[in-house]
Chains A and B, each alone.
Chain A
Amino acid sequence: EVQLVESGGGLVKPGGSLRLSCAASGFAFSAYTMNWVRQAPGKGLEWVSSISSSSTYIYYVDSVKGRFTISRDNAKNSLYLQMNSLRAEDTAVYYCARVIYCSGGSCYDGSDSWGQGTLVTVSS
């Protein structure tokens, strides 16, 4: 059974940092591109970042470029999101998700497995 379990969320002050983790199991983690997707309270889904299977291709939404860093450790079946210079507008539930199909740095399909999410609250 495919499982994705996020951790690392919490309350942080504006300008602070957090590192989110996503532990994967039940599938060949090293073969898949992974996404971070967030959802602000009462709002819709927003893609945050993607990392290809071997970390060759990394992409971010403009609003987090220069502040967030996605990474993975295939030996540990783990995905990470380092979040620095956090702002109130980064408050959201953060999900990790497995992308169904990518090739050569481009993805073409949705995500078939999602974690339960971890809540990040940025507030003074």
Chain B
Amino acid sequence: SYELTQPPSVSVSPGQTASITCSGDKLGDKYACWYQQKPGQSPVVVIYQDNKRPSGIPERFSGSNSANTATLTISGTQPMDEADYYCQAWDGSAAVFGGGTKLTVL
């Protein structure tokens, strides 16, 4: 079955750039999206179709997807961005999630 691999954790200082990767076989041939989930809350999509931001998502969130890796980049990371982040893609008829990355802003 198809797998998406994320680093378990990423740390960043406030104001710096955070990058979270998501790796999967030929992931660049699929659309990747990214969700932010804060404790006790439902996931919120922050990037869809590789690099599109939904309305209401700050411009500091951006995405890219090429070859085998999708990347979520948060520029000028703020303390409020501390959360779990999940990538997701479709493999045929199944949606696949990465294992999640805990972003710590310190």
Interface range for B: 20 to 34
Residue in A44, A47, A114 whose beta carbon sits within 8 Å of that of B95 in the complex: A47
Measured CB to CB, the nearest residue on chain B to A47 is B95
How many residues on A have C-beta within 8 angstroms of the other chain's C-beta atoms?
27
**Contact B42–A95 (Cβ < 8 Å):** yes
Which residues between 12 and 61 of chain A lie within 8 Å of chain B, taking CB atoms? Answer: 35, 37, 44-47, 50, 57, 59, 61
**Contact A110–B88 (Cβ < 8 Å):** yes
In Å, the complex CA distance between A35 and B33 comes to: 15
Is the C-beta of B67 less than 8 angstroms from some C-beta in chain A? no
Query: Please, which residues of chain A bring their CB within 8 A of the CB of B100?
Result: 44-45
Is the C-beta of A112 less than 8 angstroms from some C-beta in chain B? yes
DSSP class of B's interface residues: helix, strand, loop or mixed? strand
In Å, the complex CA distance between A101 and B30 comes to: 13
Nearest chain A CB to B31 CB, angstrom units? 5
What are 20 A-B pairs at a CB distance below 8 A? A37-B97, A44-B97, A44-B100, A45-B35, A45-B37, A45-B43, A45-B88, A45-B100, A47-B97, A100-B33, A105-B93, A109-B31, A109-B33, A109-B49, A110-B31, A110-B35, A111-B45, A112-B54, A114-B44, A116-B42
Interface residues, chain A, with chain B CB atoms under 8 Å away: 35, 37, 44-47, 50, 57, 59, 61-62, 95, 97, 100-101, 105-112, 114-117
